[in-house]
Amino acid sequence: MVSRLVLVRHGKAQERSGELTDRERQLTRAGRNALEARYPVSLQLLNDECPGQMQIWSSPALRALQTAEVIARTLGVGGIEVKESLYADSNDEFIAELYNEQGTVIAVGHNPFMEELCASLSGVVQDMRPGAMAALAFKGLDAYPEWFVQGPRTENWRTLVDVEDGLAEVATRIERCAAQLLENPDDSESLHQYRISLRVTRSLLEFLKPYCKRGTVKQEMRELKKLQDPTSRIRELDMLSAALDSQTDEAGMVRAECSEEREAFIERFGSEATQRLLRRIVKRIKELPWRQTVWQRGLEPDELIERVNDMRKAYEVEMARVDYDDQEAVHDVRKQAKALRYVTRELAECLPDDAGSTNVRAKAVQDKLGELCDCWNNAQLLVEICGPQAVQTASRFIMRADEIVADLKTGRTYGLALSDS
């Protein structure tokens, strides 16, 4: 007879659906991650056993086999023996199979069979969540409870999976927008979308920085900025060109400047060095390494919510005291509104439903302050390109900027304060 039996309920699995048979249901990513993080600690309770004295048995269901594989890798045990009795919930058949075995058997199965088996053998009723382990010591045919480790709650790892999916999405968006820009180098909207993809990713990385392996985010942020900076002047020229009467000499001068800047940019952008940098950044963002503590415990949903609230409060403070005549201050608070909007949008799966309203209001702020910044930029850039002859046209941009500032100062602008908790 075995000297020890460890009953294991498989980890968190896919929900039942008509597309899969019960045996085909797999562990969820969060379920697998939770086991891989927790089992190295839990299985230290078997440190008095050498791998050669252990056997791992599993139900033939895929979710149980995947759980058994995590255990086998953790313990360095080769081979998993499939037992139909663990799927059929056959108590008598399973016990009969144990009689001829020695050492430790780790059996991965399903509820309610695991709980029932534990109770019938040891007399102890255990509530076994997915991934739970109950070890029973045998003296002859009698079994006694030895230790019990409850299964991990997967909420934190599900949050981490949602964050990883968000990172994969923004990285893929960079790829997609970069390819679109290469295909349509003269299209101002393609350039704009490429810039947004870089900005969104930078905002998300900055938000996630406390959870990432030290030094990682700093490098990615530096390289993303290296990609974004060369696009700034072209975007400003595109905005100015769109705001001018296309038939004027000034518009012609701006288009010529824009064409020259775009040609130089596309040459650099299409180079092998830039494309290699893009591929490297995209790959690293999709594989962003977490701090060890995050990998071991996942991400608390409340942590992310608290961090968003802190981000929102910081924005509210700056918005309340911003000097609308100070172009740099307006630009900074606009960037805060953008970052808040991007984070709440890209991490919507991890945040409460009311995060969507924060996103909408931040967009209103971003748009209004964006119009103000565009007016200032247009006036300055126009005079820079066209000289004193453009002062009269530039003054129209300044007049519009003054109107926007007046609206902002009198509080007539779109419910800008994000006051919800």
CA distance 368 to 144: 70
Quote the distance between the C-alpha of residue 324 and its chain's center: 35
Q: What's the rounded mean pLDDT across residues 1-23?
A: 92
Note if the bond before 210 is cis, omega within 30 degrees. Answer: no
CA gyration radius for the chain?
30
CA atoms within 13 A on the CB side of 49: 23
- Which two structure tokens, joined as six digits, stand for 411? 């509080």
Residues in a beta bridge with 108: 8, 58
pLDDT in tens, 355-412: 656 666 777 777 888 999 999 999 999 999 999 999 999 999 999 999 999 888 876 4
For residue 234, CA distances in Å to 39, 110, 188, 238 come to 53, 61, 9, 6
pLDDT in tens, 257-301: 999 999 999 999 999 999 999 999 999 999 999 999 998 899 998
Helices 327-346/355-386 angle, 10° precision:
140
pLDDT in tens, 104-136: 999 999 999 999 999 999 999 999 999 999 999
Q: So what's the pLDDT on residue 400? A: 94
Q: What is the 3-state secondary structure (H, E, C) of 315-343?
A: HHHHHHHCCCCCHHHHHHHHHHHHHHHHH
Q: What's the rounded mean pLDDT across residues 331-339?
A: 91
Of the candidates 98, 31, 17, the residue with the CA atom closest to the CA atom of residue 69: 31
Indicate the CATH number for domain 4-149. Answer: 3.40.50.1240
CA distance 214 to 160: 18
Q: Using 50, 70 and 90 to split pLDDT, how confident is the model at 419?
A: very low
pLDDT in tens, 48-96: 666 668 999 999 999 999 999 999 999 999 899 999 999 998 889 999 9
Q: Using 50, 70 and 90 to split pLDDT, how confident is the model at 418?
A: very low
Whether the per-residue pLDDT at 348 is higher than 50: the answer is yes
pLDDT in tens, 293-325: 998 899 998 999 999 999 988 988 888 888 988
pLDDT in tens, 146-171: 999 999 989 999 999 999 999 999 99
- Which two structure tokens, joined as six digits, stand for 100? 């001829």
Q: So what's the pLDDT on residue 247? A: 87
CA distance 117 to 94: 10
Q: Are 132 and 266 in contact (CB under 8 A)?
A: no
Q: So what's the pLDDT on residue 354? A: 65
Size of the chain in residues: 421
Where in the chain is CATH 1.20.120? 154-299
Q: Are 54 and 75 in contact (CB under 8 A)?
A: yes
Where in the chain is CATH 3.40.50.1240? 4-149
Q: So what's the pLDDT on residue 140? A: 80
Q: So what's the pLDDT on residue 102? A: 87
Enter the DSSP assignment of 12: -
pLDDT in tens, 221-231: 999 999 999 99
CA distance 206 to 310: 14
What is the CATH architecture assignment of 154-299?
A: Up-down Bundle (1.20)
Enter the DSSP assignment of 223: H
